[in-house]
Structure 1
Amino acid sequence: MNKKIISTIIAIGIPVVYATLVRMAFGMRLKTWDDYFQVMSTTFLFLLPTIIGTLTVYLSSQEKAKSITYRIFTPWVPVLLFLFLTLAWGIEGWACWIMILPVFLLAASIGGLFGGYLKTYKKNDRLNISLLVLLPFLVGPIESVIETIPATYKAYTYIDIDAPAEKIWDNVTRVKEIPVEQDKGYLTRMLGFPRPVKAELNFEGVGAYREAIFTKGLVFHETVTEYEDNKKMVFSIKAYPHEIPSTTLDEHVVIGGDYFDVLDGTYELEKLPNGLHRLHLYSHFKMNTTFNFYAGWWGKWIMKDIQNNILQVEKKRSEIE
């Protein structure tokens, strides 16, 4: 076999095998083990792809490692192969990969630059490479003892509607079944999240209850905590993980789980000077990871997509009916 082909297989294959072994190790369900090694960790999300990139370039030829372009983009190849392997084996879902892929690619490129430095200026520095490979297993337990601080975020959306307040409010308190063709939740659809189906209050006032029903068995249990007819409705939201089929959401993004939970929602109807009404919808949700700065950004984007989807349905029905 051609030496260049063998060299390429080594440079790409070893990082893929390494990443797969780390993923399997961090996903093991053993007593006490998963307290120290977790997939939903900064170690896995940021350190692993950096090591993949470093190994890819370090294991390449001296000539290739000199190229900055090679250092930046070649590490993407084992990352993408790792992606397809975990998807094919059912280890990870599309939703998780779409959210973490930007970080993986960026970190892999940073690792590639570092690997190029080692290859160029620290020739045959096998000790540093060996330590680097073991780093996730050294850093993981340290990260596990750092107490995560849950962070609460607000997702705010609104829409202007040309309809009487009473008609708008009827569509707020009672969202009749939403056909597929009216679903405009582009992001959530791409991520494979359940789409909204219907929601209806059992009565209008404080203490009222409704189920916001989504496809794939997802249900938000909502209880009204503040109510002003045709003006404002505040409600608590609870999703119970045990009610959600395991095939509905990836375990790392399940609503009401260890890492992500929706807390409450608020509708407010405002009369505008031009005769229109502005319907505000905002919610609060909680993230509980060691990388809330990134997870919170995705959570806000997802919640806004869900809310905008509901608002456009309520607008269309209020203006037409």
Structure 2
Amino acid sequence: MTEAPPDAGPLRVLPYSRWWPLAAGVLAGLLLRLVFSGKPGNAYAAMMGSFIYLSPVVVGAVTVYVAEKASRRSWAYYFWAPFVANIFFVLGTLLIMVEGLICAVVIIPMFALVGSIGGLTMGLVCRATNWPRPTLYGLWALPLILGAVETHIPVPQREHAVEQTMLIQATPERIWQEIHDARAIQPGEVDAAWFFRIGVPLPHAGISQTSPSDNIRVITMGKDIHFEQVVTDWQENRHVRWTHRYAADSFPKYALDDHVVLGGHYFDITSTAYSLTPRGNATELHVRMDYRVSTPFNWYADPVSKFLLTNFESVLLRFYQHRSEVSHPMQQTGKNR
């Protein structure tokens, strides 16, 4: 592709021409997202590797190709224009309501960086060859082809745990009561957790109940979310462990993104456990959460999940510390591990 003179091409004289390449890239991405609207586990699902890896590349490549049609751009442009275009692409999925806030916030950094790779690749093709258009067509066709066959490839799974400990100035019995009878949870008690800042509905209560068949703790949250934690290990005032049980209506439509719903195809918190150890006049409260991620990009999804769950555990520990110490506040001592 030969270098165009500075005043060549219609895009140089039309209003807002510098934004047209970005607009073209965003439009290309949105069209791909509309194609990848399949249900989790089916063909053309948005969490497929063919979409997650290749759609930002297509956005970046289209952005650079349209820009190069007007004039030669710099290597810095090849990087930053696709970076910005992919941010606008993700924001566009929110505007047309095909993506939820949680997924959008989580995926923006990855899309922006991968999209820059697509832009640099197209910039190299434009400078070194006369095949920018065939290359662009090939990049556009690749996710469409792979999206039809990727369902035959097993999705990798990772199962990890996060755990933390805090020393609380209260008796094990007092803390145990708060764990099993957490009512009327106020936003200010838990909204420091990034889970809730990016769109997960706030919790309302966590109340243990006993039935003839099992012991459970019922969790209720905003947007009518509800599910049960089933006791698998119980030592009064010392240790409790739950697994999660979901009903068909545990997560009403639009309450959570389909891609991050608990117990879903891609993510789950498989168990939660609390251990209480007396330490003089105080109690060491230990929390552990086991979780699963099942995506074609676990190298990214797993660290993000670990960060969010670790932050969530910290907020939970402070929540129980505050409620347990409320009648006799003392300076807290804490440690993480």
CA deviation profile, 1:189-212 (whole Å, cap 9, x unmatched): 2211011221122259x9422202
In the superposition, relative to structure 1, how do residues 185 and 214 fare at CA in structure 2: closer, same or farther (>3 Å)?
farther
Q: How far apart, CA to CA, are the structure 1 residues paired with 2:86 and 2:111?
A: 7
- Secondary structure of the residue aligned to 2:67 is coil
Shift of 1:34: 7.8
Q: How far apart, CA to CA, are the structure 2 residues paired with 1:81 and 1:210?
A: 42
Q: How far apart, CA to CA, are the structure 1 residues paired with 2:75 and 2:248?
A: 46
In the superposition, relative to structure 1, how do residues 242 and 257 fare at CA in structure 2: closer, same or farther (>3 Å)?
farther
Shift of 1:275: 4.6
Shift of 1:305: 3.3
More helix by share: 1
Which residue pairs with 1:216 in the alignment? 223
Which residue pairs with 2:317 in the alignment? 311
Which residue pairs with 1:4 in the alignment? 12
Query: What amino acid sits opposite 2:27 in the alignment?
Result: V
Q: Which stretch has the larger CA shift, 297-306 or 72-81?
A: 297-306
CA deviation profile, 1:7-47 (whole Å, cap 9, x unmatched): 53542232222211111111157xxx983322011111121
Which residue pairs with 1:252 in the alignment? 259
Shift of 1:65: 4.8
Which residue pairs with 1:107 in the alignment? 114
- Secondary structure of the residue aligned to 2:285 is strand
Of 4, 23, 28, which aligns to 1:18? 28
In the superposition, relative to structure 1, how do residues 165 and 145 fare at CA in structure 2: closer, same or farther (>3 Å)?
same
Shift of 1:242: 2.9
In the superposition, relative to structure 1, how do residues 291 and 52 fare at CA in structure 2: closer, same or farther (>3 Å)?
same
Which residue pairs with 2:294 in the alignment? 288
Structure 1 runs, 4 residues or longer, greater than 6 Å off: none
Query: What amino acid sits opposite 1:46 in the alignment?
Result: Y
Q: What is the TM-score with the length of structure 2 in the denominator?
A: 0.85
Q: How far apart, CA to CA, are the structure 2 residues paired with 1:219 and 1:305?
A: 22
Which residue pairs with 1:130 in the alignment? 137
In the superposition, relative to structure 1, how do residues 27 and 233 fare at CA in structure 2: closer, same or farther (>3 Å)?
same
Gaps in structure 2 of 5+ consecutive residues: 1-8, 328-337
- Secondary structure of the residue aligned to 2:252 is coil
Q: How far apart, CA to CA, are the structure 2 residues paired with 1:67 and 1:198?
A: 55
Shift of 1:92: 0.8
Q: Is the 8 A contact 1:27 1:38 kept in 2?
A: yes
Query: What amino acid sits opposite 1:156 in the alignment?
Result: E
In the superposition, relative to structure 1, how do residues 267 and 61 fare at CA in structure 2: closer, same or farther (>3 Å)?
same
Query: What amino acid sits opposite 1:119 in the alignment?
Result: C
In the superposition, relative to structure 1, how do residues 196 and 9 fare at CA in structure 2: closer, same or farther (>3 Å)?
closer
Query: What amino acid sits opposite 1:196 in the alignment?
Result: P
In the superposition, relative to structure 1, how do residues 228 and 5 fare at CA in structure 2: closer, same or farther (>3 Å)?
farther
CA deviation profile, 1:247-286 (whole Å, cap 9, x unmatched): 21112112222222222111011234x6532211111122
Shift of 1:66: 4.5
Indicate whether 1:153 and 2:160 are aligned.
Answer: yes
Pairs aligned (count): 317
Which residue pairs with 1:189 in the alignment? 196
Gaps in structure 1 of 5+ consecutive residues: none
CA RMSD after TM alignment: 2.7
Indicate whether 1:240 and 2:250 are aligned.
Answer: no
Which residue pairs with 2:285 in the alignment? 279
Which residue pairs with 2:307 in the alignment? 301
Query: What amino acid sits opposite 1:165 in the alignment?
Result: P
Q: Which stretch has the larger CA shift, 242-251 or 39-48?
A: 242-251
Of 125, 133, 141, which aligns to 2:148? 141
**Pairs within 5 Å for 1:72-87:** 72-87=79-94
Which residue pairs with 1:165 in the alignment? 172
Q: How far apart, CA to CA, are the structure 2 residues paired with 1:156 and 1:91?
A: 34
